[in-house]
A and B are shown apart, each in its own frame.
Chain A
Amino acid sequence: MLPRPLLLLLAALLLSPLAQADPGLVLVVNARSGVDRLTLDDAVNIFMGRYRQLPSGLAALPIDQPENQPEKARFYRLLVHKDLAEINAYWARLIFSGKTSPPHQAKSSAEILDLLARQPGAIAYLERSQVDSRFRIVLELER
């Protein structure tokens, strides 16, 4: 058992503004997309190729983080509890038929932000810290 002063210290640390500033993935869309909230299912359907349309009727443009960005693996883990190999295998089967395709693979974080800003139907996952007023958070994946 820790001594009382140490426990008090730990509690102070957890409640401090530093903790709120930790990175947390959120799903964001263009602020003009007309979408305020998305459910996790909506997110899965859009990113896994079931639908490519936002609830507002806009064609959805899902965007993946670059392959080497840890956010991508984190995102799919949070979204469908699968690792990237599995995600890749999934898409491998679908690519052949051509009916649908995987989300757009961005080459950099900048491209993501750019597409988000330009394309009204764009939808992507970002660190909370990367979000600004152009974008609207429709789903918080981590809290």
Chain B
Amino acid sequence: MQKFGRHSILVRSAAVLIASFLVAGAVSIAATIVVTGQRQHRAAVEHLGQLLDTVESTVSVACFVKDAKLADEVAQGLLKNKEVLSVAIRADGVDLARSTLPGRLPGEAAGNTQLTRDVRSPFANGKTIGRIQLTANAEVIRHTIRDEVRFVILQIAGQLALVALTVVAVMLVFIVRPIKAMSDGLHRMDATKGERLAVPQRHANSEIGRLVLDINTLAGNLVDALSQERTLRQEKEVDERKYHSIFENAETGIFVVAPDGILTSWNPAFALLMHIPPYEAYRGNLNIRQLPWENASRITELTLHCWLNNVGLADDLTVRLRDGYWRWLHVVLTPVGENQLQGVVHDVTEHKEAEALAKQLAVTDKLTGVTNRLGLEEKLQRLLSDPLIAQTGGFTLIMLDLDNFKRINEGFGLPIGDVILKDATARLSNCIKASDFIARLAGDRFVLTLESLTGSDDVDHIAERLMQSIRKPFYVDGSPVAIHASLGIVVSPKDGADVPDLLRNLELALDRAKAQGGNGYVFFDNTLAKTAEKRQHLENDLRRAMREHEFQLYFQPIIDLAGNRLAGAEALIRWPHPERGMVPPDAFIPLAEEIGLIDEIGLWTLEAACAKLAQWQREGIDRYISVNVSARQIPDGLPAVILSEIIEHHGIDPARLALEITEGVLMVDVNKALTWLDAVRARGFRIFLDDFGTGYSSLSYLKRFPIDSLKIDKSFVHDMSEDSSDRALIEAVIAMARSLGMKVIAEGVETAEQLSLLRGMNCHYGQGYLFSKAVPSEQFEAAASRINELLGHTPGAA
């Protein structure tokens, strides 16, 4: 290594220093030349002036008398001064003297400094009488300047040498040596072993010291960064080994594909899935499109999308393998950098098949194998959105329900019911074209879809055929069972724009067919919808009435005909509708029963009746009240326990409360009805059988059921005056009841004649307009007074 090369700081600094000194010296010399020249010039002028002063009087005399000799003497005297080059004296336009230094040409004087002075008369008048001109000797001035410059140069050179030496010494000591020491230290230092540069002596707080600290910090950071880098590299190696192990041993197919579609790697599992050789054994390039995809453009599309958008994608694709079977593969593509995509491939064939099966099952009715409700809805959706179907006049739907099928299930058991349903399904399927469609919604309800039907004649024909097929007997254990069906029919698009509409209207038509007694078919029309709508309104109103306490309880007096007195009253519900006025019970009770509101209404009635009873009891009035109980309330809507609780709550005697039931109660479930009746009677309540004579009026029932009183329907009472058979019937009923230990209440007593006839038959009680119509609670006492008058009592004596 050169000790101080051309680029060493020392050499460079010295060079710069010398250069700057040379420049400064040159400037200084130039200045010296200029300044000295000017000064010398001024000095020369001054000196010449002084010389002139000394010779002034002599020259003036010489000029006065034009004495050339004297003038020449003066000139020669002046030339003895070396600063003077030449002298010229003139008087009155005549040269008196003109002298130049010997050996010098007078012409030389041109350009040199000249001093000219007028010569005045030596006498008082001071007139100008001549002129003297001195020319300075420039040579002398130049000499002086040269001397001065030489001195300046010497001075600068001396300073330069001194300063340069000082600078070199200082730089050596303060900069070059410490840097050299640092450089040597860095060459020896091993930063990874924790070695660091020492701060040169006396440089703890200098720039060199700070540089050493900075270098040490940098070394520390570099060592840290290197160690982190090493750790990362090791981790990466571990990761790569892990990945490689997964890659080799995974059951999942893994491959890497380059942007040109060439597979750059695949694992053994992928080779197995695709029936290709292992990657290591494969010769040549394999493009991803060359794999046995069913739809190769799809995989190209996927990979392109993945590359272009740099996002992961997944899709299920099928491959057709060499041995001729299909596999479903789930392919996940992920960008892994450097334009490479990694693909992960699973065989999802079983999953796909299971899924397809589940989907099939979801729309299939398990029992019959035909489509279920879900499948039907899908099918209808397809039909509705098919423009071709709309052009050819839509389609027809038939909803078919087996009448009273519930009884078959109850009577023969569910397995038999299922056999019949399967049989029915087969029969219905035979009635329709192969292109038509049958679905079982639930239970015994089917829907058939008939396409390409136009006239309603065709539909009528098919409906008849369907009913006919069901009407043929089904055989259960060799015995024939007769079943018939009801049908509702809608025609798309006129009978409904969407699936829910169509199905609802189908049900309305079917309900109407059922309501007409079954075994028939009904086409949907808008009146059905309107009826349904009205019913819906009524239902809403009814619920609101219950919620808003719109119902009122009226009481119709019941008269003890033998005792000739007011014995009690029948509680009758009334509904003053805010818009429609008084709604009769016939108009809303059946609906309340249907929608299950009857239990609530029943309880409310009972509460109100008991409140009235409690009032009478407080007033010391001995009367009973009978309350109508719907067949629907028995047994769960009105348990005996609840009855007792209500009675106890009001603190009244159960014997004052009579429950009016109809024969319908006894018809539904005999055993349940009996149990309820026994429980109620055991708690002291009385039971009235209402509307006797209008239903089955089975005498055997009367015998079996524990009933306290019979209420003879008003239709018999109404006709008894004219119709002797009715009269005989009433008489027979009264006689029979009496023999069974029951009381008889005649309803609808309207005339005095009827009253007298009934009395003649020893009928126990009477009820009707003759005595009073049903009145609100607060008007009851007024009605009671009128009845007492009618019965011949004096008011208040009852």
Contact = CB atoms under 8 A, between A and B. Distances in A.
B123 interface: yes
B69 A97 contact: yes
Contacts of B65: 48-50, 94, 99-100
A44 B123 CA distance: 8
Contacts of B61: 90, 93-94
Interface residues of A, number: 16
B122 A90 contact: yes
B543 to A, nearest CB: 161
B58 interface: yes
Tell me if B's interface is mostly helix, strand, loop or mixed. helix
A90 B60 CA distance: 11
Interface in A92-143: 93-94, 96-100
A22 interface: no
Contacts of B782: none
A7 interface: no
Contacts of A81: 124
Given A90-B61, A93-B58, A80 B67 contact: no
Nearest to A98: B69
Given A41-B125, A80-B124, A99 B69 contact: yes
B248 to A, nearest CB: 138
B702 interface: no
B64 A97 contact: no
B345 to A, nearest CB: 141
B236 to A, nearest CB: 121
B153 interface: no
Interface in B94-131: 122-125
A96 B58 CA distance: 12
B70 interface: yes
A82 to B, nearest CB: 8
B522 to A, nearest CB: 174
Contacts of A98: 69
Nearest to B69: A97
Nearest to B68: A99
Interface string B274-314: 00000000000000000000000000000000000000000
B contact residues, range: 10 to 19
A97 to B, nearest CB: 4
Interface in A74-94: 80-82, 90, 93-94
A50 B64 CA distance: 6
A3 B460 CA distance: 191
Interface in B35-87: 58, 61, 64-70, 73
A111 B66 CA distance: 30
Nearest to B64: A50
A63 B330 CA distance: 159
A27 to B, nearest CB: 16
A98 B122 CA distance: 19
A97 B67 contact: yes
Nearest to B58: A93
Nearest to B67: A99
Nearest to B123: A80
A28 B65 CA distance: 23
A48 B123 contact: yes
B549 to A, nearest CB: 161
A32 B64 CA distance: 29
Contacts of B122: 90
B123 A94 contact: no
Contacts of B125: 41, 44
A41 B124 CA distance: 10
Nearest to A51: B65
Contacts of A93: 58, 61, 70
A3 to B, nearest CB: 43
B70 A94 contact: yes
Contacts of A90: 61, 122
Nearest to B73: A97
A90 B70 CA distance: 12
Nearest to A90: B61
Contacts of B66: 50, 99
Contacts of B69: 97-99
A48 B124 contact: no
A93 B74 CA distance: 11
Contacts of B58: 93
- The winner among B67, B73, B122 for most chain A CB atoms within 10 A is B67
Contacts of A94: 61, 65, 67, 70
Contacts of A82: 123
Contacts of A49: 64-65
A94 B61 CA distance: 8
A30 B306 CA distance: 149
B64 A48 contact: yes
Contacts of A48: 64-65, 123
Contacts of B123: 44, 48, 80, 82
Nearest to A100: B65
Interface string B122-147: 11110000000000000000000000
Interface string A27-55: 00000000000000100100011100000
Nearest to A79: B123
Nearest to B125: A41
A50 to B, nearest CB: 5
Contacts of B124: 80-81
Nearest to A91: B61
Contacts of A80: 123-124
B70 A99 contact: yes
Contacts of A97: 67, 69-70, 73
Contacts of A99: 65-70
Contacts of B68: 99
A44 B58 CA distance: 18
Interface string B368-396: 00000000000000000000000000000
A80 B122 CA distance: 9
Nearest to A96: B70
B212 to A, nearest CB: 91
Nearest to B61: A93
A86 to B, nearest CB: 10
A49 B61 CA distance: 10
Contacts of B70: 93-94, 96-97, 99
A92 to B, nearest CB: 10
Most buried by A among B64, B68, B125: B64
Contacts of B64: 48-50
A41 B66 CA distance: 16
Nearest to A40: B125
A80 B68 CA distance: 23
Given A97-B70, A99-B70, 6 more contacts: A49-B64, A82-B123, A94-B70, A97-B69, A99-B65, A99-B68
9 contacts: A48-B123, A80-B123, A80-B124, A82-B123, A93-B58, A94-B67, A97-B70, A99-B65, A100-B67
Q: Which 10 A-B pairs have the closest CB atoms?
A: A97-B69, A99-B67, A80-B123, A97-B70, A49-B65, A97-B67, A100-B65, A81-B124, A50-B65, A93-B61
